[in-house]
Structure 1
Amino acid sequence: MPPTSKPLQKLGFLTIGLFDEADPRRGHESTLEIIELGERLGFDSAWVRHRHLQYGISSPVAVLAAASQRTSRIELGTAVIPLGWENPLRLAEDLATVDILSGGRLNPGISVGPPMHYDHVKQALYPDTADIEDFSYERVRRLLDCVRGKPATDFSGVKGFEVFSNRVQPHSPGLGRRMWYGGGSLRSAQWAGEHGMNLLTSSVVKAEESEDFAEVQLSHIRTFRAHHPDGERARVSQGLVVVPTDSASPEQRAKYEAYAAKRLPRTAAPQGPARMMFAPDLVGPSEQIAEQLHAHVAFREVDEVAFALPFTFEHEDYVQILTDIATRLGPALGWQPAG
């Protein structure tokens, strides 16, 4: 291990939870089985993606509520819930409820901005307020205030036979420090730091100071910590797409390599008006991937990761990938399994 690399302290994974429209239960059950497998393999965290009007998990909080009853140790996260689809007060109630049920293991990751394809969905989502909805960081602040126990109403006390609280109930005291922001820009990194959140940085960033992905990601991490009350101790999780092939069959290796090759051209230069940059997928033996990660300047700045599983693979592929990550890649990065 190069002297500039820290031993990896926390190892997690992220899954999209795809399902067949004709049999949605099977896909959701597969996601829960993968989370259970992650706990058995010693992973520190399992994260689920969020997809609206698609064939992926549309209600990650509900899925993680189920996962909380089928696991006992592994942390459960969302990466990420787009707040443009949510009412912050109602979401705070759901998050606190699942955190209580899980024994304090929930790690909610969120982001802001208008819902995807907003012009097509706004009449269904916000028929009366579509043109005045606020999709700025203010929406995050409202959620944080509710989660952290600030008053949500000016009324509390007893009315008739019912007792009312002026803050969201249940209140889960530790949840406020386990809120994550999924950011890909300097502005998001700074805002998250200033508001005491944790930072999820993924395989997508905005090319602002450079066209080198790792250097851009490094600048986001350092900006975040420079503005966070905890400074260098502020939590950052890196979420690259990582696919070890140690125990893969020849057919699986061919599929994984074809998947990465198809996605590689988009990594050559910033994409679109927003100048978004994508990291190449890392596919190969664990020893090779470990060397690539140790050479990644942003990876060397963190001590926890949530490696993203590819979108379109089969259940048995995810079993092989997770097993290789836990038994081969993780130890090559200095990680030890939990429990």
Structure 2
Amino acid sequence: MPLPERPLRKLGFLTIGLFDEADPGRGHRSTLEIIELGEQLGFDSAWVRHRHLQFGVSSPVALLAAASQRTQRIELGTAVTPLGWENPLRLAEDLATVDILSGGRLNPGVSVGPPMHFDQVKDALYPDTAEAEDFSYQRVRRLLDGVRGEPVTAFRGVEGFEVFSDRVQPHSPGLSARMWYGGASLRSAQWAGENGMNFLTSSVVKAEESEDFAEIQLSHVRAFRAAHPAGAAARVSQGLVVIPTDSATPEQRARYTAYAEKRTPRTAVPQGPARMMFALDLVGTSEQIAERLYAHAAFREIDEVAFALPFTFDHDDYVQILTDIAGRLGPALGWRPGIQPVR
């Protein structure tokens, strides 16, 4: 197996945090335990997806606040927060608070656009302002201004016994450098670069100039870095579904293979009016997966990953998958586990 030109520098994982409606506490505790396990295994980052009005974590920021008190070193991210559900000023306050509590380990990932099923949810979410809400990139700029400490009000000073600030409090100075944009289009990649953000590219992209997933993703990585002030040094994290089977039981291997096969047809051609392309799920031994990653055009140009855990597996499955990723796949990609806590 050929060695990569440069070793994988940061190894992360992403979870949706599923739970049973009848016992949501168990699912949330399971997600926290998985994040703790990730730190013990040496992972550099753990990321949580948003799932509104579904049976996955709806408030990753709150969950990551809890995770920040159960871990010391691992970075904690959202991949991604759909800003159509959020007030950017209030979110900036929450993010800064969790970043302070975590000792500077928060990596917020965001995206824009109307909330999913907006016509069905708009009366509950924005009963008086739905038609006036701006779901464009400007919503991200508002969040970035708050995180970066730009004034958000004309008033500051003392009123009676109370002291007021004109910027978001608490202010966490390093947080702005850890803001990520999750993009699936060429324009989003360029915009993220132009605005000095980091870039999350996942297992879903838009088929705009090609129907080859790796080629599309590579074009996004290059467009982002071409637009970013840091150029080739700008941070990109790739998220693909990988399922190593090194230590899996025969029953697990069969289930993992069936899962991937069921999802494979959607990877053949663009899906829906938006022409979304889905990446293949990578199932096999760590050596087999590493070979397929080395052959992936976009992977060869990044040195950070946040491998996605399959949505519907059990806790024990996630333990096995994470253990194999950290113990076998990561080292096969040149990665070495982090062991020092953040100072």
Structure 2 CA distance for aligned equivalents of residues 87 and 78 of structure 1: 16
User: Is the partner of 2:168 in helix, strand or coil?
Assistant: coil
Structure 1 CA distance for aligned equivalents of residues 338 and 133 of structure 2: 43
8 Å CA contact 2:77–2:107 kept in 1: the answer is: yes
State the partner residue of 1:223: 223
State the partner residue of 1:20: 20
| 1:13-162 pair list within 5 angstroms | 13-162=13-162
User: Is the partner of 1:283 in helix, strand or coil?
Assistant: strand
**Which ranges of structure 2 fall in alignment gaps of 5 or more residues?**
none
State the partner residue of 2:271: 271
Structure 2 CA distance for aligned equivalents of residues 61 and 194 of structure 1: 26
8 Å CA contact 1:12–1:47 kept in 2: the answer is: yes
Structure 1 CA distance for aligned equivalents of residues 213 and 52 of structure 2: 28
State the partner residue of 2:311: 311
Structure 1 CA distance for aligned equivalents of residues 55 and 206 of structure 2: 27
8 Å CA contact 1:6–1:302 kept in 2: the answer is: no
**Quick one: which amino acid aligns to residue 250 of structure 1?**
P
Residues 4 and 320 (structure 1 numbering): CA distance in 2 closer, same or farther, change over 3 Å? closer
User: Is the partner of 1:52 in helix, strand or coil?
Assistant: coil
8 Å CA contact 1:114–1:135 kept in 2: the answer is: yes
Structure 2 CA distance for aligned equivalents of residues 3 and 31 of structure 1: 34
- Does the alignment pair 1:250 with 2:250? yes
**Quick one: which amino acid aligns to residue 128 of structure 2?**
D
8 Å CA contact 2:4–2:333 kept in 1: the answer is: no
8 Å CA contact 1:88–1:143 kept in 2: the answer is: yes
User: Is the partner of 1:129 in helix, strand or coil?
Assistant: coil
Deviation per CA, 1:120-164, whole angstroms, max 9, x where unpaired?
000000000011110000000000000000000000000000000
Residue correspondences, number = 339
State the partner residue of 1:301: 301
State the partner residue of 2:289: 289
Structure 2 CA distance for aligned equivalents of residues 138 and 5 of structure 1: 38
- Does the alignment pair 1:194 with 2:194? yes
Structure 1 CA distance for aligned equivalents of residues 317 and 216 of structure 2: 31
User: Is the partner of 2:237 in helix, strand or coil?
Assistant: strand
Structure 1's consecutive aligned runs of 4 or more residues displaced over 3 angstroms after TM superposition are: 1-5
Deviation at 1:226, TM superposition (A): 0.3
Structure 2 CA distance for aligned equivalents of residues 94 and 115 of structure 1: 20
Structure 1 CA distance for aligned equivalents of residues 271 and 120 of structure 2: 23
8 Å CA contact 1:5–1:294 kept in 2: the answer is: no
Structure 2 CA distance for aligned equivalents of residues 4 and 164 of structure 1: 53
8 Å CA contact 2:11–2:305 kept in 1: the answer is: yes
Structure 1 CA distance for aligned equivalents of residues 212 and 230 of structure 2: 28
Structure 2 CA distance for aligned equivalents of residues 248 and 232 of structure 1: 38
So what's the TM-score if we normalise by structure 2? 0.98
Structure 2 CA distance for aligned equivalents of residues 199 and 303 of structure 1: 12
User: Is the partner of 1:305 in helix, strand or coil?
Assistant: strand
Structure 1 CA distance for aligned equivalents of residues 51 and 120 of structure 2: 16
Structure 2 CA distance for aligned equivalents of residues 5 and 97 of structure 1: 39
**Quick one: which amino acid aligns to residue 118 of structure 1?**
F
**Which ranges of structure 1 fall in alignment gaps of 5 or more residues?**
none
Deviation at 1:4, TM superposition (A): 5.5
How much is the aligned-residue C-alpha RMSD, in angstroms?
Answer: 0.7
8 Å CA contact 2:75–2:107 kept in 1: the answer is: yes
State the partner residue of 1:9: 9
So what's the TM-score if we normalise by structure 1? 0.99
Deviation at 1:6, TM superposition (A): 2.1
8 Å CA contact 1:243–1:284 kept in 2: the answer is: yes
Deviation per CA, 1:187-216, whole angstroms, max 9, x where unpaired?
000000000000000000001111100000
Structure 2 CA distance for aligned equivalents of residues 59 and 212 of structure 1: 34
Structure 2 CA distance for aligned equivalents of residues 159 and 329 of structure 1: 58
Structure 1 CA distance for aligned equivalents of residues 160 and 39 of structure 2: 47
Structure 2 CA distance for aligned equivalents of residues 3 and 77 of structure 1: 29
**Quick one: which amino acid aligns to residue 111 of structure 1?**
S
**Quick one: which amino acid aligns to residue 264 of structure 2?**
L
Deviation per CA, 1:4-32, whole angstroms, max 9, x where unpaired?
54210000000000000010000000000
**Quick one: which amino acid aligns to residue 154 of structure 1?**
A
8 Å CA contact 1:14–1:79 kept in 2: the answer is: yes
**Quick one: which amino acid aligns to residue 214 of structure 2?**
A
Structure 2 CA distance for aligned equivalents of residues 62 and 283 of structure 1: 32
User: Is the partner of 1:113 in helix, strand or coil?
Assistant: coil
Structure 2 CA distance for aligned equivalents of residues 4 and 132 of structure 1: 49
8 Å CA contact 1:178–1:198 kept in 2: the answer is: yes
**Quick one: which amino acid aligns to residue 12 of structure 2?**
G
